[in-house]
Amino acid sequence: MHSEPPTLRLAALFDAGREALIAHYGHRLQAHQRRAMNAILACRSGALGCLDWRCLDCAERRETPRSCGHRSCPACQNHTTTEWLERQREKLLPVDYFMVTFTLPAGLRALAQAQQRAVYSALFWAASETLKGFGERKLKAELGQCAVLHTHNRRLDLHPHVHVIVPGGGIDGKRKQWRKIQGKYLFNAFALARVFRAKMLRALSDAGVAIPIGLPPKWIVDCRNVGRGEPALEYLARYLYRGVVRERDLVAHDPATRTVTFRYIEASTKRPAWRELPIADFLWQVLQHVLPTGLRRVRDYGFLHGKAKARLRLVQLILRVLLHQREQKPRPPMCCPRCKMPMRLIGQILRRPDG
């Protein structure tokens, strides 16, 4: 019987390739990227301190290293995904859901990397305003939107785009009516793309960003039905909240050639593919997707906005959604290695990483 090879950890790759990364890309590393690297290196290493556990049955004591909680750390992603899914379940409606993807053209990618905050804020605004306008004109109603920013493709190259999840309908607040999307079709993707292009260029201009010349006249917007109910939400949670790279997709690290190989799913064939990069290039590919501090990756609009709870309740009332208090799922208990009974957290020893 063959055992599975141990999973490569991103922290171990940063540890092995940090010097090469700084030698090749140190002049491009920004403060928030260095903080992300330091957090990943420190995660569950003991550098951040430990949790102190005691068994109430046999008095066994155990210390476990603390996690970093950084949003770019793959070891901490699962909890973030679970929290998002629980929030969306509280807003779940008995309608079809659509995913609309707004993609920046290749001519704006370098600008996005150089001015992340301005360009990504403009991308959120242009995408949400485009859908808002279509909802008002086509449905005479207010849409709900949940937008999630991705800056990479499956090969880890820079490819900024925003996915917007839209319930299939909108609320006419004046008449207190729900206006349902008819059939499996939301809005025309080509029409969305034309309006999105105009709004994005306007937003960049208003922000004082110099727009490169030679941008294509046609941009890309994809609009598709993703189903309904909790299965659709669970699919979206896995799709939207995947990290830049999953540790289980880190295939190999060769210290002799100083290369890293990772696995991804080829978009055109839906089959596994592999990419090998020098370790410094691989680590830079990961860090270039770390967002500046305070730049939110997920934003809600319309009747799904956090300040629109009254409108959301009206929608749920009209659609006869049964509202009930969801019980928070407790985390699995820490079990005593000696007697297997649950242990109690009695304290913590805190330390801060350098940098």
Residues 144 and 40 in one domain: no
Residue 180 and residue 228 in one domain: yes
Mean pLDDT computed over 235-251:
81
On whether both 232 and 100 belong to a single domain, the answer is: yes
Asked whether the predicted pLDDT for residue 291 surpasses 80, the reply is yes
Q: What is the pLDDT of residue 309?
A: 92
Lowest mean pLDDT among 114-128, 140-154, 321-335: 321-335
The amino acid that residue 149 corresponds to is L
pLDDT exceeds 60 at position 171 = yes
Give the position of tokens 């290196």: 41
Averaged pLDDT of the chain? 89
- Mean pLDDT for 177-197 is 92
Say which residues have a Cβ less than 8 Å from residue 106's Cβ, sequence separation at least 6.
none
Q: Do residues 152 and 295 both lie within one domain?
A: yes
Residues 204 and 66 in one domain: no
Residue 157 lies in a domain: yes
**Is-contact 243 78, C-beta < 8 A?**
no
Q: What is the mean pLDDT of residues 256-285?
A: 94
Residue 4 clears pLDDT 90, i.e. is over it: no
d(CA 92, CA 79): 20
Question: By residue range, what is the domain housing residue 139?
Answer: 93-244+289-318
What is the per-residue pLDDT for 326? 55
137 pLDDT higher than 90: yes
Say whether pLDDT at 136 is over 50.
yes
pLDDT, position 87: 81
Which of 28-37, 62-71, 336-345 ranks highest by mean pLDDT?
28-37
340 burial type by CB count under 10 A (0-12 exposed, 13-18 middle, 19+ buried):
exposed
pLDDT for 73-112, tens place per residue? 888 876 677 777 888 888 889 999 999 999 999 999 999 9
Q: Work out the average pLDDT over 23-35.
A: 95
**137 & 234 share domain:** yes
Please determine, for residue 251, whether its predicted confidence score (pLDDT) is greater than 90. Answer: yes
Per-residue pLDDT at 270 exceeds 90: no
Q: What is the dihedral of CA 133, 242, 282, 287, to 10 degrees?
A: 60
Stated as kind and residue range, the H or E segment containing 196 is: helix 189-206
pLDDT beyond 70 at 260? yes
> Are 298 and 180 contained in the same domain?
yes
The answer to whether the beta carbons of residues 157 and 281 sit under 8 Å apart is no
Question: Does one domain contain both 129 and 58?
Answer: no
Residue with more model confidence, 167 or 351: 167
Residue 240, domain member (yes or no): yes
Q: With contact defined as beta carbons under 8 Å apart, do 252 and 12 qualify? A: no
pLDDT of residue 185: 84
Instruction: Say yes or no to pLDDT of 355 above 50.
Output: no
Examine the domain organization and report whether 120 and 63 are in the same domain: no
What CA–CA distance (Å, rounded) separates 83 from 207?
33
Residue 146, pLDDT > 80, answer yes
- Flag whether 86 is in a domain: no
Is position 53 within any domain?
Answer: yes
In the three-class reduction of DSSP (H, G, I as helix; E, B as strand; rest coil), residue 307 is classed as coil
Please tell me whether residues 50 and 138 are part of one structural domain. no
Does 278 reside within a domain?
no
| Mean pLDDT score, 51-75 | 88
pTM: 0.88
129 token code pair: 């305003």
Note whether 199 and 134 are within 8 A (CB). no
The count of domains in the chain is 2
Greatest Cα pair distance in the chain: 72
Q: Are residues 109 and 154 in the same domain?
A: yes
Higher pLDDT residue, 56 or 183?
A: 56
Distances (CA, A) of 187 to 68, 98, 132, 178: 41, 10, 12, 17
> What does the pLDDT average to over 233-262?
86
Whether 223 maps to a domain, the answer reads: yes
| CA distances to 44, 87, 123, 237 from 84, in Å | 23, 5, 21, 7
Give a yes or no: residue 253 inside a domain. Answer: no
Report residue 26 CA to chain centroid gap: 26
Predicted pLDDT of residue 323: 65
Residue 354 has a pLDDT of 47
pLDDT > 50? residue 3: no
- In tens, the pLDDT along 324-347 reads 555 556 667 889 988 989 999 988
Q: Is residue 324 one of the residues assigned to a domain? A: no
Residues 305 and 339 both lie in one domain: no
What is the C-alpha separation between 352 and 47, in angstroms, rounded?
7
Of the listed ranges 5-14, 70-79, 198-207, 259-268, the least confidently predicted one is: 70-79
Task: Look up residue 4 and give its two tokens.
Answer: 């599975």
State the Cα angle at 209 between 206 and 213, rounded to 5°. Answer: 110
